[in-house]
Structure 1
Amino acid sequence: MVLGAAYELSTRILPPEYYTHAAITTIAGIVTYAFAQGRTTNRERNLHARIILVTGGFTPLGLTLITSLASRGAHIIALSDYPLTENSIPSLLIPVLRAATKNEQIYAEYADLSSSESIRAFCTKFLTGEDHRLDAIVFAHEYRGIGTLFRRESQENTEWRDVASLATFLITTLLLPKLLVAPIERDIRIVNVINPFYAASAPLFPSKLTTILTSGNTHRQNDPLFLAEGFRALRTAIFTRHLQRVLNALPNGAPGPDESKNKPPGPQLIKPPKMSNIIAVTAAPGISRVETISPMFGADRESGAESFSLFGMLLYMFLYPVIFLLAKSSKTAEQSILHVLFLPTPFKRALAQVNSVADGSAPASAATPSPESYAYEEVLKPGGLYRECAVVNLKVPSLPPPPESAKPKDEKRGKGKGKQEDEFVVIEDDGEFGGESLGRMVWEWYETRLKDWETKDKARVEALKKEAERQKAAEGKQKLASTHTDSGTSTL
């Protein structure tokens, strides 16, 4: 009876002649969903005793990433913009994360990434602490989109994008001296997470950056949303690539061959190829529902009244079946980040070959690794941009060559007691992401804007302190006046 009724109802809703169409549609939907979720990393790594600093740790992507890393035994330090009070979001989520991952080494530290003073206070506290080992830094706070399709780009959005990038630059430069003195055998990684619109600004990036630096004008309200977001993402990717050039140019403490005349008998130390044990890479997780589509539609109330749109929220709800099918979840968006954290680095591979030669377990010809030796296993590309667990070869136009009058003369380089040529640090120019000149210009933009940001933030902090002192004095006077009134009343 029940089966007959169910069959009769199903045939009325979907007649048998449409079963083929329904099956094809279902299969097409499953294939489309699987393709839209992207690749999953095929690597794995034991992260026990590895200390990883994560910014944006209490965003959807950050929480998912912390869960994945902590479940593999990593020691997590998550930076929080929320004060660590008793009922704050970090205080409530940290015990849950520890219980879910069975890992007690998950901690939250307060650092307001919109304040340079707060960032400096955290870095000073971290560097002066007892345990300041650091194996990886994951900057996940720049992934979330800023701005909406239904409102014109404002100067406030531009400032928020710049501040987010400057926070990455400031934390990197403050912690970098400590990373450079770490033991050479330690594998250290710096991962910058960017939004997926970096390619939108690639053709015009050099000219736009040149205009900003020469004019000093940061107002870019006329840029479309995708171009503004892409400019921020590509700027971070170019900075990461140039940071790797700088790291490779610095001494990394690698053992070199004995150059003395009186060489002792026996095997000599073999120097590995020139590369840093600190690897900086960029990861683009792709288009996610919560942190890409939702802010773009203005559907998230937590973005603030300036970015929230009731129409956008209703449109997001109406289109959610399509968004669910074509956009990523946080679990699949994290795969590219995990991939760059799990891949072996070329430095470790070269160091392992050098150690095997010193031990006598490998022939001396293996001391100098060649590209052919890495052909059968993927290694992490220093300074590379990863998306869908693969390297992206993005073409960015280079800057025009400087005029002859602007080039330094060779005869001036030899002056000054002959030491200037020895002190000159050569940075490689591989031509990637616009080459070394464009990377240097991006670095110059960071340094210039950082000075302005710190000046404004210092003035803001001083104003807040004065206001707090003023309110405290007013409360003291009010309390004193109420005390005098009470004593006068009791006397009467």
Structure 2
Amino acid sequence: MPVHSLATVFGNISSSQLIVGAITFALIIFVKAWAGGRKCTWERDWKGKMILVVASPTTTIITLIDTLLHLPSPPQILFLPDTKSPLPESLLTLLHTIKLSSISKNPSAQLHCESLPLTPESIRNFVIKWNSSPVQMVGEGGRRVDCIIFGKGWEVDKSNFLSNLTKNEKEEEIINWDNNQFKFHFLNSFLPLLLKSPLERDIRIIQLISPTWSSALPALASSLNNLTKEEGEKTKKIRKLDLINGTGKKNLESLLCFKHFQIILDTLEAIQRGKVKPIPNPEKPEENLKVRDTNVKSNIKSISVIMPWARDEVLKGSLVSSPLSKLSWILFYPLILILTPSSKSTVQSILFALSAPVREGTIDDTPKVAEQGKEIYEQRRNGVAGGDVIRDCGVVDLPPVLSDPVLAKAVYEELEKQVEKGVKESQTKSKLQKAQ
């Protein structure tokens, strides 16, 4: 019967129409494959290693966790969503399903989950608990960490701008970090634990960057500061154009902060090895400048990954606001499926940042041929180093303004002041609550 039904449907179609249909179908497949981008071809042995995934439970993050747990040598994963405790049953059910699916194929796969809201108190409590593990359960350098993935802040979402002070049901003021403040506080609180790790251990700190970052480049000279408290109160009425530009500005700030953070890591490593030498100051001969050996690199590498235009996290937040736009989204969704990458394609650059080998030295763009008849060696897709920016499974260069160390230092120090102020306020409130 199916054969007869198909014959009835397609029996009156001419051969020319079939050829056009076949070409159209092939074109759709080609466009879909092109929109998905490159795939990561590197595989890394993650057996016995630990990855911290600090992110909201979005489609991309869930796909990333599922992909990592189904690797031949899967890592241990500690998922830290910014959801208040207790975690929703729907999230726990989903994570439990992923864990059972991976364990059935590889018993060494491990997935754990714990709430980590964007507050100073939650970071302090997490670091205390991390340090309080029994001695017999950890190594000499403490509990092992091989990678930290910051997967929040790249989505085009109003919640990324809701920072500063909010009130809970008891009308008690609570300090809430925005994404950049949270990353800064978490990294600086966790840094002493990372520095104790053996030098041969490759530790990667990865942040996800929104593809909207380039929209904020024209306004970089005028403002790179966070939204003010008054602007934060107006985010409910924010226009979509402002939302895209606001997300881009915050991600530019993230790029600059990670650039300066890598300089700090390399400097600490140079100091530890005694590779910081004094040289005369040309402006003040009576003083000396301390200059580090730029060839010394830290085993802790900060890497930024520019994400593609994911349909759920970026495109939907950029386009859908009014009832008419929601209807248009539904009508054009088949076309969106073709022109945007799937969640499995979206995570490929993250997998590249996680698994690509360490690159020594700087990138030489001069094409090199290893042997006659061999393909050209692509250095940008064959390794990563601290401070690299990844896009489409390869290292990319940013505009010169984002390579300015003075600007990166200024943005880093401004963020440091904000975090110090918030931590002091949090500690003061905590003492007052205990005194009561």
Identity of aligned residues (%): 24
TM alignment of 1:470-489, pairs within 5 A: none
Q: d(CA) in 2 for partners of 1:381 and 1:205?
A: 26
CA distance in 2, matches of 1:378, 1:76: 25
Mean CA deviation greater in 241-250 or 103-112: 103-112
- Aligned counterpart, 2:266: 248
SS of equivalent to 1:17? helix
Q: Give the match for residue 144 of structure 2.
A: 133
Which residue is 2:323 aligned to? 310
Q: Compare the two structures and name the one with the higher strand fraction.
A: 2
Structure 2: tracts of 5 or more residues without a match:
167-175, 233-237, 276-292, 363-376
Structure 1 Cα separation of the partners of residues 85 and 404 of structure 2: 43
- 2:296 is matched by which residue type in structure 1? K
What are the equivalent positions in structure 2 for 1:82-93 lying under 5 Å apart?
82-83=83-84, 85=86, 88-93=89-94
Partner of 2:385: 381
> In the TM superposition, what are the counterparts of 1:9-408 in structure 2 within 5 Å?
9-12=9-12, 14-56=13-55, 58-72=57-71, 73-83=74-84, 85=86, 88-102=89-103, 103-113=108-118, 115-130=119-134, 131=138, 132-147=143-158, 156=162, 163-209=178-224, 212=225, 219=231, 224-251=242-269, 273-298=295-320, 309-346=322-359, 378-397=382-401
Q: Quick one: which of 404, 415, 425 aligns to 1:435?
A: 404
Distance (Å, rounded) in 2 between the aligned partners of 1:196 and 1:159 = 29
Corresponding letter in the other structure for 2:328? L
Higher helix share: 1
Aligned to 2:211, what secondary structure does the other structure show?
coil
1:96 to 1:384, Cα distance in 2 relative to 1, 3 A: same
Q: Match of 2:397, as an amino acid?
A: N
Report which stretch shifted further, 218-227 or 331-340.
218-227
- Contact (CA 8 Å) 2:50, 2:78: kept in 1 or not? yes
Q: Which amino acid aligns with 1:22?
A: G
SS at match of 1:379: coil
TM-score of the pair, normalised by structure 2: 0.75
For residue 202 of structure 1, report the CA deviation from its aligned partner.
2.1
Task: Write the letter of the residue equivalent to 1:49.
Answer: G
CA-based RMSD: 3.6
Relative to 1, partners in 2 of residues 1:460 and 1:228: Cα closer, same or farther, differing over 3 Å? farther
Contact 1:252 1:277 in 2 (8 A): no
Per the alignment, residue 448 of structure 1 pairs with: 417
Secondary structure (helix, strand or coil) at the match of 2:178 reads: helix
Gapped runs of 5+ residues in structure 1? 149-153, 258-270, 299-307, 351-372, 398-432, 470-492
Query: How far did 1:436 drift?
Result: 0.9
Deviates further, 445-454 or 129-138 = 445-454
Aligned length: 376
Q: In structure 2, how many angstroms separate the alpha carbons of the residues matched to 1:282 and 1:17?
A: 50
* Residue type at the aligned position of 1:335: Q
Residue 219 of structure 1 aligns with an amino acid whose one-letter code is E
Q: For the Cα contact (< 8 Å) 1:84–1:91, is it kept in 2? A: no
Distance 1:322 1:458, change over 3 A: farther
Give the TM-score normalised by the residue count of structure 1.
Answer: 0.67
Code of the aligned partner of 1:277: N
Question: Secondary structure of 1:141's match?
Answer: coil
Compute the displacement of 1:100 (Å).
Answer: 1.2
